[in-house]
Amino acid sequence: MITILAILFALAFLIGIHEFGHYRVAKACGVKVLRFSLGFGRVIARWKPAETEFTISAIPLGGYVRMLDERDPDSGPIAPEERHRAFNNRPLMQRVAIVAAGPAANLALAVLLLAATAWIGSQEPRALLGTQAAGSLADKAGLRAGDFVSATAVDGGAWREVRSLSELQGRVLEASMDGTALKLEVSDPQGHGRRELSLDTAALAGKELDASTARQLSLRGWVEPLIHQVTADSAAAQAGLQAGDRVLSIDGVTQTDESAVREVILRAVDGGQARAMHWLVERQGQAIELTVTPRLVEEAGKQLPRVGVLFRNQLQMTEVRYGFGEGLAYGARRTWDLASLTVRMIGRMLVGKASVKNISGPITMAEYAGQAAQAGLVVYIGYLALISVSLGVLNLLPLPMLDGGLLMYYLFEGLSGRPVSERAQQKLQRVGVVVLMLMMGLALFNDVTRQFLN
> Is 183 inside a domain boundary?
yes
> Is 263 inside a domain boundary?
yes
For residue 178, count other CB atoms closer than 10 A to its CB: 17
Is residue 278 domain-shared with residue 401, that is, in the same domain? no
CA distance 34 to 70: 13
Is residue 380 domain-shared with residue 398, that is, in the same domain? yes
Is residue 434 domain-shared with residue 342, that is, in the same domain? yes
Is residue 212 domain-shared with residue 245, that is, in the same domain? no
Q: Write down which residue in 221, 251, 284 finishes a domain.
A: 221
**pLDDT tens-place values along the chain, 454 residues long:** 666 777 778 888 999 999 999 999 999 999 999 999 998 888 999 999 989 999 999 887 788 999 999 888 776 788 888 899 999 999 999 999 999 999 999 999 999 999 999 999 888 899 999 999 888 899 999 999 999 999 999 877 889 999 899 889 988 988 887 888 999 999 998 889 999 999 998 887 766 666 677 778 889 999 999 999 999 999 999 999 999 999 999 999 999 899 999 989 999 998 888 999 999 999 999 999 999 999 998 887 788 899 999 988 788 888 889 999 999 999 998 899 888 878 877 776 666 655 555 555 455 555 555 566 566 788 888 889 988 998 999 899 888 888 999 999 999 999 998 888 878 877 877 776 677 676 666 555 555 555 554 4
Is residue 350 domain-shared with residue 431, that is, in the same domain? yes
Q: Write down which residue in 241, 265, 300 finishes a domain.
A: 300
Is residue 388 domain-shared with residue 348, that is, in the same domain? yes
Cα distances from 292 to residues 224, 225, 241, 277, 297, in angstroms, run 20, 16, 9, 5, 15
* Stated pTM of the model: 0.71
The residues that bridge with 129 in the sheet, in sequence order, are 221
Sheet hosting strand 286-292, strand order edge to edge: 253-254, 246-250, 277-283, 286-292
Do the Cβ atoms of 258 and 264 come closer than 8 Å?
Answer: no
- Which residue in the list 19, 167, 185, 263 is annotated as catalytic? 19
Cα distances from 262 to residues 210, 223, 248, 251, in angstroms, run 22, 12, 13, 14
- What is the DSSP-derived secondary structure letter of residue 217? H
Range of the domain at 401: 91-121+323-454
Q: Write down which residue in 221, 243, 262 finishes a domain.
A: 221
Is residue 363 domain-shared with residue 445, that is, in the same domain? yes
Is residue 278 domain-shared with residue 185, that is, in the same domain? no
Is residue 416 domain-shared with residue 291, that is, in the same domain? no
What is the total count of domains within the chain? 3
- Is residue 19 among the annotated active site residues? yes
> Is 85 inside a domain boundary?
no
CATH number for the domain including 151? 2.30.42.10
Is residue 141 domain-shared with residue 171, that is, in the same domain? yes
Is residue 128 domain-shared with residue 117, that is, in the same domain? no
Is residue 292 domain-shared with residue 210, that is, in the same domain? no
> Is 83 inside a domain boundary?
no
